[in-house]
Amino acid sequence: MAYRNLEIVHRGAVRTITINRPDKLNALNRETLNELTLAFTQAAQDDDVRVVVLAGAGEKAFVAGADISEMNGYTPVQGQGFSRAGQRLMSLIERLGKPVIARLQGFALGGGMELAMACHLRIASDKAKFGQPEINLGLIPGFGGTQRLLRLAGRSAALELCLTGAPINAQRAYELGLVTRVVAPEALDEAVNTLAEQLAASAPLAAAGILDAILQGGETSIDQGLEFETQAFALAFSTEDMREGTTAFLEKRKAVFHGR
């Protein structure tokens, strides 16, 4: 289908979803949230898609935040609905069952940082800036920022970033565990594409099991998480991919996984 605010590109098993509102620094309005929700739902349902890359158009911003011009007129009920729509999208991305890589350049602020944190891996240009500046608008993060920031970077960093609203650079984000890798701007596309292709060639059912074990098991006690891991590990023995992977290792050849 045609999207007003997104561009979708396919390259083998990799689907790139680009938020295309560069004149608004790719700000998230309600329409864009709805389109992203549909695009990620389609990616989840398409067996030919093994990896998703999420990007923002232009070099100034990944996503500079939510669309303030739209939010300015919201009632409390509309604000609640906007927050829930954003949180549904972030949870959909986080629980997609396929690796999602965020390509981060320029600003990733407010809703943009929340969107990046919902992705599984984040590769940033060393020129990128991150922050949760909602307090400067008399607001709090509404798309999961308080909760994912707490889980990724810890209580102290979450309080600092949310209470001060001050941006941080890519190196500081890396030190806090908010970014997987930092590269020079001219190396960003190569780094993202190389990682995406590597993940696309790996066993998709095993990837889904890893995502489930870490994301779901990580919200439970250690004993429950270990049991979750054991069950997912055992389930992998029922797959053709597991037989292919182990046989290829013994035969000293490259495995070819089919997601079965």
Residues serving a catalytic function are 114, 134
Tell me if 93 sits within 8 A of 118, measured CB to CB.
yes
Beta-carbon count within 10 A of 49 CB: 19
CA–centroid distance for 171 within its chain: 19
Q: How many CB atoms lie within 10 A of CB 202?
A: 16
- What burial letters (b/e) apply to 204-222, b meaning 16+ CB within 10 Å? bbbbbbbbbbeeebeeeee
Distance CA 218, CA 228 (A): 10
